[in-house]
Structure 1
Amino acid sequence: MDYATSDHSPPFRRPLSSTADNGLKIVITGGFGVGKTTMVRSVSEIRPLNTEETMTQAGEAVDDLAGVQAKTSTTVAFDFGRISLDRRNVLYLFGAPGQQRFWFLWDRLFSGTLGAVVLVDTRRLDDSWYAIDRLEHHGTPFVVARNDFGGPRHTEEQVRDALSLADGIPLIECDARSRQSSKDVLITLVRHLHTLSAASPRARETTAP
């Protein structure tokens, strides 16, 4: 899913404030061609760094192109974008590569991550399993966002059942081309992280009378 954003592009020349001293890392992950690069591009306030390369015939033997036959480029390392939350807090976005041959990079990308977004294409739900498995292995909180590819509609219960999602994990709809929709996904993640933090034993001990 590599196409122009549907909203007006954000300003790409905004400098990083000299007072920013708290960088928060978020990873956007999921299967091949689910829209990770598109989401980083749509929501970043700077011109995103990407490592996209043109797909060649050599990759056809190792990459599963089912459902994404029209895709002509692919991320081979990661995408990087940035959002300034306020004068002291900056959100760093890392888009993980989707092909199985690059999954070895994921564990390093997940290191130090505050939370993650798992983008899914409901036409290819099985492609999301590995991302969810690795995030759970690392104990990294995450939300799941169903990117709109115009495919068959599934109920929330059907998607949760297919992905074995716990009730407490947010599952939302999104359009990765839309800046506002992508922002809503990140807001959902931040709220989820806040909820988990407030419910942690340490937080309860701190607030106890």
Structure 2
Amino acid sequence: MDYNGSDLSLGPRPEDLLPASTEKSVKVVIVGGFGVGKTTMVGSVSEIRPLTTEETMTRDSVGVDSLHGVERKTETTVAMDFGRITLNQQLVLYLFGTPGQQRFWFLWNGVIEGALGAVVLVDTRRLEDSFQAMDRLEAGNVPFVVAVNNFPDAPLHSVAALRSALDLGEDVPLVNCDARMLESSRDVLLTLMRHLYTNATRGTQAPSEVTR
């Protein structure tokens, strides 16, 4: 079959190719409960079209996945999300988003393995959904920051109340974000990078705080 003149493109798109000067890559994971905005954050900040594994929710999920606070959600991640950010000509950051439902947590080990750090995305309507994610990261000695995704109808809490409810130490950065916005998601990742640098150099930089 002759494909000359066809619009069919084979192989990766030019914008998806890594710079020839790339020397190193690092891995960051975005974790959290069901419907907290992990796929949205990866998509908002990735420089390439993100790879997602979202599937339409069916009746089989009724009574299995709690839709409290996300009643309008119609799709869900069943494996992982993937995106990329080129930090400079030599360094590339790979983003991996994990599925939120408990029935898919068996996939987390492979996604979290080898991660330099993590973002725990939190919805204040369902704070308890973030506990398992933080426990898994702590068990794996993966440093993390906590980002409160600002949903319009989510209750507001003070920094002290959030830290107490999440049982966060003062050394864990806590920030606000809007996962839909590039600048906000980028700032969360910059907070994580600063946290990792502080840990690596054992500095005394004060953790970021939620501002109201």
Q: Same fold (TM over 0.5)?
A: yes
Q: Does 1:144 align with 2:152?
A: no
Listed as ranges, the matches of 1:43-192 within 5 Å are 43-150=45-152, 151-192=154-195
Separation (CA, whole Å) in 1 of partners of 2:156 and 2:137: 26
Higher relative contact order (CA 8 A, sep 6+): 1
CA shift, 1:61, in A, is: 2.6
Q: Write out per-residue CA displacement over residues 49-69 of structure 1, whole angstroms, 9 at most, x where no aligned residue.
A: 000000001111311111111
In structure 2, how many angstroms separate the alpha carbons of the residues matched to 1:112 and 1:14? 23
Q: Which residue in 1 is equivalent to 2:43?
A: 41
User: 1 or 2, which has the higher helix percentage?
Assistant: 1
* DSSP-derived class of the 1:145 partner: strand
The aligned counterpart of 2:199 is 196
Kindly state the Cα deviation for residue 108 of structure 1 after the two structures are TM-superposed: 1.5
- Separation in structure 2 between the aligned mates of residue 14 and residue 112 of structure 1, nearest angstrom: 23
From 15, 39, 54, give the equivalent of 1:13.
15
Which whole-Å CA distance do the structure 1 matches of 2:55 and 2:21 have between them? 35
Q: Find the aligned partners of 1:166 and 1:42 in 2 and give their Cα distance.
A: 29
Aligned-CA RMSD value:
1.2
What secondary structure does 1:61 align onto? Answer: coil
- Give me the TM-score of the superposition, normalised by structure 1: 0.88
Instruction: Name the CA distance, whole Å, in 1 between partners of 2:86 and 2:186.
Output: 12
Give distance in 2, aligned partners of 1:61 and 1:180: 36
Shift in Å at residue 14 of structure 1? 5.0
**Structure 1 residue ranges without an equivalent (≥5):** 1-11, 201-209
User: How far, CA to CA, are the matches of 1:23 and 1:40 in structure 2?
Assistant: 17
Paired with 1:32 and 1:68, the residues of 2 have a C-alpha distance of 9
| Structure 1 segments (4+ residues) deviating >6 Å | none
Count of residue pairs brought into register by the alignment: 189
Percent identity of paired positions between Structure 1 and Structure 2: 59
Q: Distance in 2 between matches of 1:65 and 1:181?
A: 25
Which blocks of at least 5 consecutive residues in structure 2 are unaligned? 1-13, 204-212
CA deviation after TM superposition for structure 1 residue 19, in Å: 1.7
